[in-house]
């Protein structure tokens, strides 16, 4: 089957590889979204890696589904306390070899309604991650730092629940409404904006780290009594919630390209020319 595979130089290219074999649930990939976390692995992940985890597929019995990407065991103390993404089982591969391929072995899915098309269905996984993170953001005036695709998902989810949302971005054409004063909470959606997020919130405010903030100055957190929270990835319950919510949100349209044009997709992502690129085998 065709797949985008990292070569010996850890750079992606289209290759003919062996399709996953039984046993297991083999599904045919219909679409797979390109995520910033995929792009970060290029040049680093092992040769032979197939990236892609925002997958819409068709099951052997003809159902259109969004695949679950990682899941906790559901019973350990971390899972029970709501930190499923830190469960020891969470790192186990669940979409094999990876979504940028014609076929994968899946370990769970949620069914898609007909009104959600294949390309839009790839938003279920990132939306589920955002829904899980948004649960930990206090309501009120919220600043989104980094208004790319994930920032837009946060904006849509927070506005829908009644928050006043502001958004800034290092690319001026992506910025939303800038904050008109201190905010109750900030959500960091892009690496590198940590200090901006910290200084935007009121004393006693909250900063949700949804991207690697590297090092942050802790004296301000102490003196201003800030709450800094991390959230990463989704849970199967949030995938279900995302399917239900997706048709009700106004979200940016994806740029859809065939798998053969992965290099172009990467360029559109890296330059910021496209908010979201979806690849179709």
Among 14, 76, 175, 249, binds Zn ion (CB under 5 A): 76
Residue with Cβ nearer Zn ion (217 or 272): 272
Stretch that binds Zn ion, among 65-73, 103-111, 186-194, 200-208 (CB under 5 A): 65-73
Is 87 a binder of Zn ion (CB under 5 A)?
yes
Query: Smallest distance, Å, CB 229 to Zn ion?
Result: 19
Among 72, 98, 146, 205, binds Zn ion (CB under 5 A): 72
Q: What are phi and psi of 120, to 5 degrees?
A: -65, -35
Vertex 35, ends 279 and 88: CA angle to 5°? 120
Residue with Cβ nearer Zn ion (36 or 263): 36
CB 30 within 8 A of CB 43: no
Number of residues that bind Zn ion (CB under 5 A): 7
Query: Smallest distance, Å, CB 35 to Zn ion?
Result: 3
Residue with Cβ nearer Zn ion (70 or 174): 70
CB 23 within 8 A of CB 17: no
Residue with Cβ nearer Zn ion (224 or 240): 240
Among 79, 190, 208, 226, binds Zn ion (CB under 5 A): 79
Stretch that binds Zn ion, among 12-20, 70-78, 204-212, 251-259 (CB under 5 A): 70-78
Stretch that binds Zn ion, among 80-88, 153-161, 257-265, 272-280 (CB under 5 A): 80-88
Query: Smallest distance, Å, CB 233 to Zn ion?
Result: 8
Query: Smallest distance, Å, CB 220 to Zn ion?
Result: 30
Residue with Cβ nearer Zn ion (27 or 79): 79
Residue 213: how many CB atoms within 10 A of its CB?
Answer: 20
Stretch that binds Zn ion, among 13-21, 74-82, 103-111, 196-204 (CB under 5 A): 74-82
Q: What is the 3-state secondary structure (H, E, C) of the chain?
A: CEEEEECCCCCEEEEECCCCCCCCEEEEEEEEECCHHHHHHCCCCCCCCCCCCEEEEECCCCCEEEECCCCCCCCCHHHHCCCHHHCCCCCCCCEECCCCECEEEECCEEECCCCCCHHHHCCHHHHHHHHHHHCCCCCCEEEEECCCHHHHHHHHHHHHCCCEEEEECCCHHHCCCCCCCCEEEEEECCCCCHHHHHHHEEEEEEEEECCCCCCCCHHHHHHCCCEEEECCCCCHHHHHHHHHHHHHCCCCCCEEEEHHHHHHHHHHHHHCCCCCEEEEC
Stretch that binds Zn ion, among 56-64, 84-92, 169-177, 207-215 (CB under 5 A): 84-92
Is 73 a binder of Zn ion (CB under 5 A)?
yes
Residues 21-40 interacting with Zn ion (rule: CB under 5 A): 35, 37
Is 245 a binder of Zn ion (CB under 5 A)?
no
Query: Smallest distance, Å, CB 23 to Zn ion?
Result: 24
Residues paired with residue 109 on neighbouring β-strands, in sequence order: 67
Which residues of the shown chain bind Zn ion in the complex (CB under 5 A)?
A: 35, 37, 72-73, 76, 79, 87
């Amino acid at each position: 089957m065709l797949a985008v595979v990292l070569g010996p130089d850890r750079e992606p290219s289209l290759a003919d590889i062996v399709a996953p074999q039984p046993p297991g649930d083999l599904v045919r990939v219909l679409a797979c979204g390109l995520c910033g976390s995929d792009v970060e692995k290029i040049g680093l992940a092992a040769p032979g890696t197939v990236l892609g985890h925002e997958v819409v597929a068709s099951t052997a019995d003809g159902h259109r589904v969004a695949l679950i990407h990682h899941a906790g065991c559901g019973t350990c103390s971390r899972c029970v306390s709501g930190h499923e993404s830190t469960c020891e089982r969470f790192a186990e591969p669940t979409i094999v070899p990876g979504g940028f391929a014609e076929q994968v072995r899946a370990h769970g899915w949620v069914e898609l309604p007909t009104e959600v098309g294949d390309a839009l269905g790839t938003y279920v996984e990132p939306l589920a991650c955002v829904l899980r993170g948004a649960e930990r953001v206090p309501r009120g005036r919220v600043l989104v730092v980094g208004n790319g695709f994930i920032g837009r998902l946060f904006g849509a989810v927070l506005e829908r629940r009644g928050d006043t949302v502001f958004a800034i971005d290092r690319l001026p054409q992506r910025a939303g409404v800038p904050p008109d004063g201190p905010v109750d909470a900030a959500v960091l959606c892009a690496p590198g904006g940590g200090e901006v997020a910290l200084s935007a919130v009121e004393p006693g405010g909250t900063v949700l780290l949804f991207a690697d903030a590297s090092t942050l100055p802790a004296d301000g957190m102490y003196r201003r009594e800030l709450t800094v929270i991390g959230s990463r990835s989704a849970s199967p319950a949030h995938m279900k919630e995302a399917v239900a919510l997706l048709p009700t949100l106004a979200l940016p349209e994806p740029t859809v390209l065939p798998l053969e044009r992965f290099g172009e997709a990467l360029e559109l992502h890296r330059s910021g020319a496209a908010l979201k690129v979806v690849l179709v085998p």
